[in-house]
Amino acid sequence: MRVLLRCDSTKAQGLGHVIRTMALAEAALAAGHSVQFSGDVESPVGRALIEDLCSAIHPMPDGPEAVARLACDVGADLVHIDTYADQGDLVAELRTVGVLLSSMEDGSFGRRPADLVIDPSPGAELAYRPGDGSYRLFRGAGAIPIRRSIRELDGAKTVSRGLSAGRDVMIVMGGTDARDMTARCVELWAQTRVPSRCFVVDPGGRRGFSVELTAGQSLEVIQPSLQVPHHFPSMDLVISGAGTTTWELATLGVPMALVQLVENQADNYAFATGNGMALGLGNASMGQLDEPSAVAALRGLLQDDVRRLRLGVQARSVVDGGGADAIVRYWEQMAAESDGISVRPAEIHDAGQLFDWRNDPTVRQVSREKDELAWDTHLAWVSRVVKDPGVCLLIVQCDGRPAGTVRFHVLEDGHWEVSITVAPTMRGRGRAAQILSEAERYFLERRPEAVLHASMLDSNIASYKLFRNAGYEGNLDGSGEESWYHLVRRGGTLPGR
């Protein structure tokens, strides 16, 4: 597969977009794919990282049509984009030339329709994302792309010294320090008066800081480079912004204290501090950094070896470091499924798509439960059934596009009830029989002796004809308030054979 990576890095944007894009470059190269890059990157560290991994670097294309032309010129099978800047209707332009679009977003920041939408915000998979024509979603902590060079570092050190030996602290406010917070954090550390060595990564190129140090405190300035993360595992505490560095530190189990630097870090900051992964120092983006409180909190953490250790252990339990490899596997699967009919098991990331389909008025009209579903109820149901051996919930795709869902639910030993929902965008195209047939084939290959049952309202003539034509037989039951057809099909023979 040939992949074109598209992102930018300015002081205002920070370096996080480049860092996680290069994590994907590493994973793609390791999987045998080729990568090229397009974008404007001001940071020398970012440029060095890109030059080390990408076979070709192209200027930033001007508009979606230019991106599509570049993708064609370099023979790209997939474009991955990681930027908050408006890209127009990029997915439509790329679909016209047969190129897949993978898009990274952070909540509502950078949101756009794509063939694959990735949101690496922990907990994102639990929130409803309104449908926008995107084909697949991959969200949550499992989607956090971590560079292989980070994952290969040794884990964080354990408590092995008394407080009298001092502590090693690092301050790193991202690749560009978009809010010029480095100097303020140096001051916070100094005011703790806790004996410690502080290593400050300063993108501004300063050689020192005017700060009053007390006995046992020392300060050393480190220039930004690709080697900075190699210092992380040896630190007793890292003071950082709540961006991409948060997840690199979590992967290594390094204790951290976080500052929210910009608005788009709000979800990361809230999750990390609210789930025992990090100490929160405040929200600098809204001017809510209470310095006396931050100093007191930082002092307490520096003096508490056990608490720091617990923060690191909890952080490490959240991020497994496999997000980049998982994203590349999604790319590979999408490329393989871009033509024809394909069937796959549903996953939690499909919850939004299934929610929209289930709440479609046409679907509710012919369902047993006609009320509109609440998101929380639906999410709990999907979370349960994707793990339930008594349910086989499938997504059927046509040319890579979600076309419908078919559910097989066990009634009793060997007997399963079948239900089908065709995506609203696929209705009237004569696809229902093919969707049902391919789902049955997938299911019966795994359970060849299953007896399949289907029920539908007598008014749902289309569904009745669909199942009768698929070999189901049965009668009309009018004993209840509504009349239902109950049909059955014996297993043992795959559809179409």
Which residue pairs from 84-87 have beta carbons closer than 8 angstroms and sit at least 24 positions apart in sequence?
84/13, 84/109, 84/110, 84/264, 85/8, 87/112
How far is the C-alpha of 356 from the C-alpha of 346, rounded, in Å? 15
Strands (E), 42-195: 57-58, 78-82, 100-104, 116-119, 136-139, 167-172
- Judge residue 51's burial from the number of C-beta atoms within 10 Å of its C-beta, 0-12 exposed, 13-18 middle, 19 or more buried: exposed
- Top-confidence residue, 249 or 368: 249
Q: What pLDDT shows up at residue 160?
A: 43
Q: What is the DSSP letter of 290?
A: -
409: phi then psi, degrees, rounded to nearest 5: -125, 125
With pLDDT > 90 as the criterion, what percentage of the chain qualifies? 72
Work out whether strand 473-477 and strand 484-489 pair parallel, antiparallel, or are unpaired: antiparallel
SS3 116: strand
Distances (CA, A) of 451 to 3, 35, 336, 437, 447: 45, 48, 31, 15, 9
Residue type (1 letter), 381: W
Q: What pLDDT shows up at residue 490?
A: 76
Q: What pLDDT shows up at residue 144?
A: 98
How far is the C-alpha of 300 from the C-alpha of 439, rounded, in Å? 58
Residue 4's contacts (CB-CB under 8 Å, 6 or more residues apart) are 35, 36, 37, 38, 70, 71, 74, 76, 78, 79, 80
| Structure confidence at residue 207 as a pLDDT band (50, 70, 90) | low
Smallest CA-to-CA distance from 62 within 27, 28, 87 is with: 87
For residue 496, is pLDDT > 60?
no
- Top-confidence residue, 496 or 269: 269
Residue type (1 letter), 180: D
Mapping DSSP onto H, E and C, the string for 352-403 reads HHHHHHHCCHHHHHCCCCCCCCCHHHHHHHHHHHCCCCCEEEEEEEECCEEE
15, 174 in Cβ contact below 8 A? yes
Query: How long a stretch of residues is the chain?
Result: 497
Smallest CA-to-CA distance from 338 within 104, 102, 118 is with: 102
Domains and CATH numbers, the chain: 2-146+321-330 (3.40.50.11190), 152-318 (3.40.50.2000), 337-489 (3.40.630.30)
Q: What pLDDT shows up at residue 175?
A: 65
pLDDT digit string, tens, across residues 126-165: 999 999 999 999 999 999 999 998 998 866 655 444 444 5
Average pLDDT score over the chain:
91
pTM of the model: 0.90
Q: What pLDDT shows up at residue 219?
A: 94
Distances (CA, A) of 51 to 1, 25, 38, 471, 485: 20, 11, 11, 59, 64
Residue 277's contacts (CB-CB under 8 Å, 6 or more residues apart) are 250, 256, 271, 311, 314, 315, 318
Measure the CA angle with vertex 262, ends 175 and 138; round to 5°. Answer: 85
SS3 54: coil
Residue type (1 letter), 369: E
Q: What pLDDT shows up at residue 493?
A: 52
What's the rounded mean pLDDT across residues 367-393? 92
SS3 246: helix
306: phi then psi, degrees, rounded to nearest 5: -65, -40
pLDDT digit string, tens, across residues 70-129: 999 999 999 999 999 999 999 999 999 999 999 999 999 999 999 999 999 999 999 999
Kindly state the helix (H) or strand (E) to which residue 2 belongs, with its residue range: strand 2-7
How far is the C-alpha of 273 from the C-alpha of 270, rounded, in Å? 5
How far is the C-alpha of 390 from the C-alpha of 21, rounded, in Å? 39
SS3 293: helix
Q: What pLDDT shows up at residue 91?
A: 97
- Top-confidence residue, 425 or 332: 332
The number of beta carbons lying within 10 Å of the beta carbon of residue 179 is 19
The number of beta carbons lying within 10 Å of the beta carbon of residue 464 is 19
